[in-house]
Amino acid sequence: MIIAKPCVTMKGIVISGYSWERQVKVDLTRTAQCLRDRGYTVKKLLPGMMLILEMEGYEVSVYPSGKIIIKLLEDSKTGESIARVIYDCAGVLEVVS
């Protein structure tokens, strides 16, 4: 299940991927390489901590827990679409869908 909601501390969307079947864990290094291969700009990678990239004109932060923050985005449907690309690269899309 993918849940997108407005961020309470800044303008943006917070997205979380949940599964009843297994824990959602994102390998940031592998995910960053996949996103690079798909043409997205990786701004910073701190393995095991955080991945910052640019997607669809927005700055996106991805965490190992599967939490995604998209700064300045207000449309949750667009946020879910971006999250699906990230979760696909992370290999957890089937788990959270």
Q: What are the pLDDT tens digits along the chain (97 aa)?
A: 888 998 888 899 999 988 888 888 999 999 999 999 999 999 999 999 999 999 999 999 999 999 999 999 999 999 999 999 999 999 988 888 7
* Strand segments (E) across the chain: 2-6, 12-17, 41-46, 50-55, 58-62, 68-71
Neighbours of 85 (CB within 10 A): 17
| pTM of the complete model | 0.93
